C-alpha cells in the first residue's frame, strides 16, 4: 500500500471505528448498515458526488452544505451524519469510500459474516451458489455473502477471493501456468 493510501485508510479506519462503536451503543447497527449501503450506491451512481468528495475545486463551505443536504435527504444516522460533516469541515471527504468499506467490514464482522468475491465464466445458478456458499462457510467458519461476477475470459472454473486469500481454479490460469512451464523446457 502506498503511503498516501495508507494514511487515507488510517484516517478512514479511525472514523469508521468511532461511528461503528456509537451505532453499537445505540443499537443502530441495522440502520448504519442500510445507510452505508445507500451511500455506497449513491457514490457509484453519481459522478457529481464523486467530484464533490475528491475535487479540491469545491470550497469547505460548499462541501459542508452539500454533505448536510445529503445527510438530511437520506435521513442518515445521526452519528454517521455528524462524522460526514466533520470530515467535510476538515477537508477529508476524499476518504469517504474507504470509510464506507471499513464500516462494511466492521458490520460484517459484528454479524459473523464474510464477503466472498466469486468470478466465473458463466452466471452461477442458485444451486451452484448455495453449494459454493456452504463450502466457503465450512472453510472460514462464518456466514458468507457471495459477490458474483462473470468474466468469460477465464474460460471455466472459478476465482474465489475471501479477505486476503484467493483460490484460482480457472482454466485460463492453468493454461498460463502450462505455458510458463513449456517456456522453461523449450
In contact, 127 and 95? CB cutoff 8 Å: no
Split into its structural domains, the chain has a count of 2
Of 109, 135, 154, the last residue of a domain is 109
Of 69, 89, 109, the last residue of a domain is 109
Q: What is the pLDDT of residues 164-175, one digit of tens each?
A: 789 898 888 888
Q: Looking at the structure, do residues 105 and 128 belong to the same domain, yes or no? A: no
Residue entry with cell 472459478: 158
CA 139 to CA 181: how far, in whole Å? 31
Of 109, 132, 162, the last residue of a domain is 109
In contact, 12 and 93? CB cutoff 8 Å: no
Which domain CATH number covers 75? 1.10.520.20
Residue 160, C-beta contacts closer than 8 angstroms, at least 6 positions apart: 116, 117, 118, 119, 132, 136, 166, 167, 169
Residue entry with cell 483460490: 167
Q: Looking at the structure, do residues 32 and 90 belong to the same domain, yes or no? A: yes
Q: What is the pLDDT of residue 139?
A: 87
Q: Looking at the structure, do residues 37 and 97 belong to the same domain, yes or no? A: yes
Confidence label for 63 from pLDDT (cuts 50, 70 and 90): very high
Residue 157: domain span: 113-185
pLDDT above 90 (res 6): no
Q: What is the pLDDT of residue 185?
A: 79
CA 2 to CA 169: how far, in whole Å? 30
Q: Looking at the structure, do residues 82 and 121 belong to the same domain, yes or no? A: no
Q: Looking at the structure, do residues 90 and 24 belong to the same domain, yes or no? A: yes
pLDDT above 90 (res 112): no
CA 34 to CA 51: how far, in whole Å? 23
Amino acid at each position: 500500500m502506498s503511503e498516501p493510501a495508507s494514511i487515507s485508510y488510517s484516517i478512514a479506519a479511525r472514523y469508521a471505528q468511532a461511528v461503528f462503536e456509537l451505532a453499537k451503543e445505540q443499537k443502530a447497527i441495522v440502520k448504519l448498515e442500510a445507510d452505508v449501503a445507500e451511500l455506497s450506491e449513491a457514490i457509484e451512481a453519481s459522478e457529481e458526488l464523486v467530484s464533490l468528495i475528491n475535487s479540491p475545486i469545491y470550497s469547505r463551505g460548499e462541501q459542508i452544505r452539500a454533505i448536510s443536504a445529503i445527510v438530511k435527504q437520506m435521513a442518515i444516522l445521526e452519528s454517521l451524519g455528524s462524522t460526514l460533516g466533520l470530515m467535510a469541515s476538515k477537508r477529508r471527504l476524499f476518504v469517504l469510500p474507504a470509510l464506507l468499506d471499513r464500516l462494511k467490514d466492521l458490520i460484517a464482522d459484528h454479524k459473523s459474516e464474510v464477503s466472498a468475491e466469486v468470478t466465473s465464466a458463466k452466471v452461477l445458478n442458485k444451486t451452484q451458489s448455495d453449494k459454493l456458499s456452504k463450502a466457503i462457510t465450512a472453510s472460514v467458519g462464518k456466514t458468507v455473502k457471495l459477490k458474483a461476477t462473470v468474466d468469460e475470459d477465464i474460460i471455466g472454473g472459478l476465482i474465489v477471493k475471501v479477505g486476503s486469500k484467493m483460490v484460482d481454479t480457472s482454466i485460463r490460469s492453468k493454461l498460463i501456468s502450462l505455458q510458463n512451464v513449456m517456456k522453461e523446457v523449450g
